[in-house]
Amino acid sequence: MSKSFFRPKEQLNQQALAPEQSLKKQPQATFSYIGSSAVLVRTLVMLVLILVWQTTAWFVASPDLPSFILVVESLSYHLSEGEMVANLSITLGRVLISFIISMVLGVMIGIIMGTHQWVNKLTDSLLIIALNIPALVTILLCYIWFGLVEAAAITAVVINKIPTVVVMIREGARVVDKDLLAVAKIYKLSASKTFFKVFLPQLYPFIMASGRAGLSLIWKIVLVVELLGRSDGVGFALNTLFQFFDIAGILAYTLAFIVIIFLVEALMFRPLDRIIARGSGND
Amino acid sequence: MIELSVAINDKYYANSPAMVLKQLEFNVAPGEFVAIIGPSGCGKTTLLNMISGLEACQNQQIFCNGKAVNGANEHHVSYIFQQPRLMPWLTVRENLQLVLHSPQAGQIDRLLQQVGLAGTGDYYPHQLSGGMQRRVSIARAFAINPELLLLDEPFNSLDLPTATRLRLLLIELCQQRNTTVIFVTHDLREAIYLADRIIFISNSPSTIIHQAVVDLPRPRDESGAQELEWQANLMAKYPNLLAGSVG
């Protein structure tokens, strides 16, 4: 009876309506094809970069530019002999805690500012100030006021990060589809259902963007915080290496960092991307 | 069963000095199917928004079974909007689950079957055609067993056979459940086919210019002889009715 109402190009009919069979297979196939070629391209780019580095180091032949092989040797030395694993995990812990705190607070403040005009008017200039205060100033002030303790370090990072999250989430909350919220009101959805099923999904792309941008900023600030006032972590280790002028060591830490960043991207952000893109037609 | 009494005076657009509804007063009996016809931009959607409680104004007396509607309608109201307004991040099934407080086993499949969408529960809205999305929104509207159903030009921009099939479905579902219906349209033939009574309103700031009881026997025919004759008689009497005047 309803056969004629389906779009012909989708080739839907009552027999072929099992979801796995008709529509979804083809996009998935193209996706994995693009995925594998993207991995290939990415690996190639990395290999070329390493090659350029290695040959440049050979030509320059200066202790100021250690070769890739030297850096890898230094990396394996620090991993097995030094405190690299301990330092990395301490830094990672700090990054994780300040990331979670600043995302949760930033998203909450951003939503409130985006949905309440008067709150926005009241706090807008405060936000601009917070956005533009140099990271170094907040770090120094936190250490002076709270002492050289862990809480001061985390607070300094969080204060630096929250404003950028707020700015992005606020824009998202401003453009939330009022029509869909009207649906929620008509069908008398509970407040939590309205928030989690209707409101928040519209902010996911904004949360992802601020999460990605946020993580990169937090890495950088955590290192400065460690350099200035902690006696462990990657920032502290880099400072020590700097004093010995151990350039290979500094680059070894950088290399370890890059590997971790790629892992975080592949294990955390990509799967999240796929969940968030569901229903958008690009999944 | 819902009995509706509407009296609206001087409703202005939100954030605008333009008046949209000047004076509208009418009653709707329990189980009645009322169509509202007016030229585009005359405030038909605003009227439905006010009855549903999405919008309000100073001078309004809208009562639903004797209870005032002012920014919130406490009864089981369903509203089929001009666009399907499904949540794109939820599957068809999840979209229906969303509005149900405690869905019974098989209830959603039954609903989908009724609108001719059996087996599409696991699709996302963007994987469906416009007509199918609209049928999901109709299924959603009926899922909560509405006492009052508001429809805002729901069959606009659909191809003829789909629209015909959906109109039949609407009649069927409303008769099953004895729902009170307010149906906004600008298509007179559609209104004659569906409604017990038609209310004609003028250009904004709008007032009611004419009311006509459609005294044709059911089941009706969309372009049957007596329906067309009824329409011709009305048009002969009020040639400018659809343009918003009885002059």
Structure-model confidence comparison of residues B157 and A115, the more confident one: A115
Among residues B42, B21, B11, which one has the least CA distance to residue B243? B42
For residue B37, give the 3-state DSSP assignment: strand
CA B226, B189, B149: angle at the middle one, nearest 5? Answer: 115
Can you give the pLDDT at residue A14? 40
Contacts of residue B140 in chain A, CB cutoff 8 Å? 187
B14: left (phi over 0), alpha (psi -120 to 50) or beta: beta
Quote the CA–CA distance of B85 and A179 in Å, as a whole number: 7
Closest CB to B89 among A183, A186, A201: A201
Please state whether beta strands B77-80 and B59-64 pair in parallel, antiparallel, or not at all (unpaired).
unpaired
Encode pLDDT of B34-81 as tens digits.
999 988 888 888 999 999 988 888 888 888 888 888 777 788 899 999
- Interface membership of A4 toward B (CB under 8 Å): yes
Q: How far is A263 from chain B (nearest CA, A)?
A: 27
Tokens at B197, concatenated: 């009574």
- E strands present in chain B: 4-12, 19-28, 33-37, 59-64, 67-68, 77-80, 148-152, 180-185, 197-201, 206-213
Can you give the pLDDT at residue A10? 41
Compute the count of residue pairs across chains A and B with CB atoms less than 8 Å apart.
Answer: 78
Q: How far is A27 from chain B (nearest CA, A)?
A: 12
Q: How far is B230 from chain A (nearest CA, A)?
A: 31
Can you give the pLDDT at residue A32? 52
DSSP B159: -
Q: How far is B162 from chain A (nearest CA, A)?
A: 6
Closest CB to B127 among A14, A23, A204: A23
Place of tokens 């405190």: A83
Can you give the pLDDT at residue A13? 42
Closest CB to B116 among A1, A19, A198: A1
Contacts of residue A10 in chain B, CB cutoff 8 Å? 127, 129
Phi, psi values for residue B183, rounded to 5°: -120, 115
For the residues B174-185, what does the mean pLDDT come to? 89
Contact criterion met (CB < 8 Å) for B116 and A5: yes
The strand pairing partners of B9, in sequence order, are B23, B59
Contact criterion met (CB < 8 Å) for A14 and B89: no
Q: How far is B163 from chain A (nearest CA, A)?
A: 10
DSSP, residue by residue, A141-176: HHHHHH-SSHHHHHHHHHHHHHHHHHHHHHHHHHT-
Per-residue pLDDT of chain A (283 residues; tens, 9 = 90+): 344 444 444 444 444 344 444 444 444 444 555 556 788 888 899 899 999 999 998 888 888 888 888 888 888 888 888 788 899 999 999 999 999 999 999 999 999 999 999 999 999 999 999 999 998 999 999 999 998 888 999 999 999 999 999 999 999 999 999 999 999 999 999 999 999 999 999 999 999 999 988 888 898 899 989 988 888 888 999 999 899 888 888 999 888 988 888 888 888 888 888 888 877 765 4
Contacts of residue A277 in chain B, CB cutoff 8 Å? none
Closest CB to B87 among A5, A197, A281: A197
Encode pLDDT of B92-139 as tens digits.
999 999 998 877 778 888 888 888 888 888 999 999 988 889 889 988
Chain B residue whose CA is closest to A201: B89
Instruction: Give the contacts of B168 (CB within 8 A, at least 6 positions apart).
Output: none
Q: Is A39 exposed, middle or buried (0-12, 13-18, 19+ CB in 10 A)?
A: exposed
Q: How far is A105 from chain B (nearest CA, A)?
A: 25
Can you give the pLDDT at residue B200? 92
Can you give the pLDDT at residue A282? 53
Can you give the pLDDT at residue A16? 39
Peptide bond preceding B219 in cis form (omega within 30 of 0): yes
Can you give the pLDDT at residue A125? 92
Tokens at B182, concatenated: 């307010």
Instruction: Give the contacts of B165 (CB within 8 A, at least 6 positions apart).
Output: A2, A5, B116
Contacts of residue B164 in chain A, CB cutoff 8 Å? none
CA B110, B114, B119: angle at the middle one, nearest 5? Answer: 65
Contacts of residue A193 in chain B, CB cutoff 8 Å? 98
- Pick from A183, A198, A275 the residue to mutate for testing the B interface (most B CBs within 10 Å): A183
Chain B residue whose CA is closest to A27: B127
State the ipTM, two decimals.
0.86
Question: B14: pLDDT confidence band, cut at 50, 70 and 90?
Answer: confident
